[in-house]
Structure 1
Amino acid sequence: MYSPEQLDTIRSLNDAARQNPGVASRANVTQGFLSLPDADRFKAVSAIVGFTKFDGDNDPYGEHNFGAVYRLTTGTWTQERPSDDRVIAKTVFWKVNYYDNTLTYGSEAPRDERQTKRVLTIMLASEY
C-alpha cells in the first residue's frame, strides 16, 4: 500500500497521463477503437480527457487509473453509466498502466515519474 502522499502523487500523475495522452503518457488504442467513426473516436477521447467520475466501482484504490465512457443510442458520449443498458451503443474502457523506463516490466515505483512510464490504453469494452 502507498502512503497518502504517495497516493496523491500517483493520482496526480495518472490524471496528467489521461488529460494529456501522447505527452504525459504513451497512448495506445486497440483495433476495435480504431474501427469507430472518426467523430466517435474524437468524442470518446474528449470524454476520457475530461473524465471525473471516479468512484468505488472504477477506482477502488484511489489511483485514477481506470474508467469507462459510453456512447448512447442518441449519439451522445457520457461518463455517467445509464441505468438502462439498452440505451448504451458502445462502451469504451481506458486504463493507465505503469512500466519501467524500458517499457519491459511493471514499474516498482509508480509514484516516481523518473522511474515510471505511463501508458494509456483505450479500447472497446467488447475487446476486454
Structure 2
Amino acid sequence: MIDTTQATQIAHLNDAFRKTLLGGQVMLTAGVQALSELEHYEVFRKVQTFDDFSEDNDPYGEHDFGAFEVGGKRLFWKIDYYDPTLTFGSEDPADPAKTKRVMTLMLAEEY
C-alpha cells in the first residue's frame, strides 16, 4: 500500500510529466490519432492544464487519471508506471530512477 508521502511524491512526478510531457512516453490510441491537428492541439492543452482532481477520479491522490471533452468527444488520459525497460510494473513509482511513466490518451469510447 502506498502511504500519503509516496502518493504526494507520485502526484508531483505525474504532474511534472503531464505538464511538460518530459520524462516518459505518450501513447495515442487510434481514435486520438485520427483527430484533426486542431483537436490534437486542444487535447494536449487540456491534458497539460488539467487540475480537476477529486475523490472520484483520484482516490489515491496520485494525479494519474483525467477526463475531459474536446469537440464533443469525451477523452481520458491515464499514467501508468513501468520499470525503466518497460517490461514490468515499477517497483517504486515514487522513485524516478526506478520508473518510466507512460501516459495513454484515448477516446472514452475506446476504453
TM range (shorter): over 0.9
Q: Deviations over 1:89-127 (max 9, x none)?
A: 201100000000100111110010000000011011111
- Partner secondary structure for residue 48 of structure 1: helix
Matches of 1:55 and 1:3, distance apart in 2:
18
What letter matches 2:103 in structure 1? L
Structure 1 or 2, whichever has the larger Rg, is 1
Structure 1 vs Structure 2 CA RMSD: 1.0
What letter matches 1:35 in structure 2? A
Superposed displacement of residue 8, structure 1: 1.1
- Partner secondary structure for residue 97 of structure 2: coil
Superposed counterparts of 1:28-43, under 5 Å: 28-43=27-42
Aligned to 1:52: 51
What letter matches 1:55 in structure 2? S
Superposed displacement of residue 7, structure 1: 1.3
Superposed displacement of residue 36, structure 1: 0.8
Unaligned runs of 5+ in 1: 76-88
Matches of 1:18 and 1:125, distance apart in 2:
19
- Partner secondary structure for residue 114 of structure 1: helix
Superposed displacement of residue 54, structure 1: 0.2
Q: How many residues align?
A: 111
Unaligned runs of 5+ in 2: none
Q: Deviations over 1:15-47 (max 9, x none)?
A: 1111122x1221111110011111011101100
Per residue, is there more helix in 1 or in 2? 2
Matches of 2:39 and 2:33, distance apart in 1:
10
